[in-house]
Amino acid sequence: MGSMSHHGHDHSAGTSALAVALALILALMAGEIVFGIVAGSLALMADAGHMLTDAAALGLALAAATFADRPARGRWTFGFRRLEILAAHLNGLALVAVAAVIVYTAIRRLVSPPEVRGGIVLVVALAGVAVSLVATALLAGPSRHSLNLRGAFLHVATDLAAFAGTAVAGALVLATGWDRADPIASLAVAALMLWSSYSLLRESTRILLDVAPEEPRDVAAEMLAVPGVVEVHDLHVWTVGSGFSSVSAHVLVEPEADCHALRRQLADLLVERFELPHSTLQVEHGPGRARSKASLPLASPRAKR
């Protein structure tokens, strides 16, 4: 006998925020490219390159969030939720690639710095700070509930920090004429991008490889601690998509136990203790004899109360 509970997640607020943020980023990117060429600023061009990946990242995130809302059908028994995780992973890889290009170009400009028009750099960077603040504020809330939106949020958040650094570099160039401040700011941008990509890639990779969000032994131990539960095996815990974690297990209970009541109790336990809202439990009466530790590869014997 099985238990299955489903947990839905509303993406409407997130998709609206992504659409507005995408429009802002595209407008800012166009301005950066124009003024970066005019000013001869690598920092602005680096930011423009980052903004291009941001626009692609936000577009990908928007498409993934839209598809994730589609219901399960045919062979897609979990729907399209995993597309959000794939989008987050691709966004993390894009951050790494652009950071590598920026580092290479910045090192070359440190060796032979070109002339930079600091005034233009400063004005455009301050405009970028304003736009990035709005985009970051739009995505901050929704990003707490979706890895896909977190990837988009990290893109615009690193833009915010990068624009602040670029503004400082522009001010230094304007005040002192020290053109190397521009590629140094670019290196700071690249460092922020690499730092942001690490956590995003780590978490998305764990989900794509179906690594358990919780320690299975701890889950099994808590289930075994429920009076009437004799054995827990074939336990699997994984994340389908953001806010959608699943668990399945075969549970044996004492011969006189109420299977239906224990199934409901275990499902509630998994939600309250481990935030696992989607559970599939096969609950059956056990043989009524003492357990063997060898038969519980994921479960430890129930602690005496």
Q: Which two tokens stand for residue 202?
A: 């780590």
Residues 68 and 110 in one domain: yes
Lowest mean pLDDT among 136-150, 212-226, 269-283: 136-150
What 3-state DSSP class applies to 283?
strand
**One domain, residues 169 and 258:** no
| Domain contains 40 | yes
Supply the CATH number for residue 225's domain.
3.30.300.30
In a domain, 300, yes or no: no
Mean pLDDT score, 84-88: 83
Average pLDDT on 281-288 reads 84
Question: Structural domain tally of the chain?
Answer: 2
Return d(Cα 302, Cα 305) in angstroms, integer. 9
Q: What is the pLDDT of residues 174-222, one digit of tens each?
A: 788 777 887 888 788 888 888 878 888 998 899 888 888 888 999 999 9
Helix (H, G, I), strand (E, B) or coil at 272: helix
**Structural domain for 253, as ranges:** 216-295
User: Are 164 and 236 members of one domain?
Assistant: no
Of the ranges 23-27, 48-52, 108-112, the best mean pLDDT one: 23-27
245 and 109 in a common domain = no
Total-model pTM: 0.68
Same domain, 203 and 220: no
In total, the chain counts a number of residues equal to 305
Tell me the two tokens of residue 51: 């903004």
Angle at 121 between CA 110 and CA 174, to 5 degrees: 75
In terms of domains, do 227 and 274 share one? yes
Report the helix count and the strand count for the chain, using DSSP H and E. 8, 3
pLDDT of the residue at 218 = 92
Kindly list the strands in the beta sheet with 278-285, ordered across the sheet, starting from the edge strand earlier in the chain: 229-241, 244-253, 278-285
Q: Quote the CA–CA distance of 229 and 284 in Å, as a whole number.
A: 10
Distance, in Å, from the CA atom of 183 to the CA atom of 195, rounded to the nearest integer, reads 18
Q: Do residues 188 and 96 share a domain?
A: yes
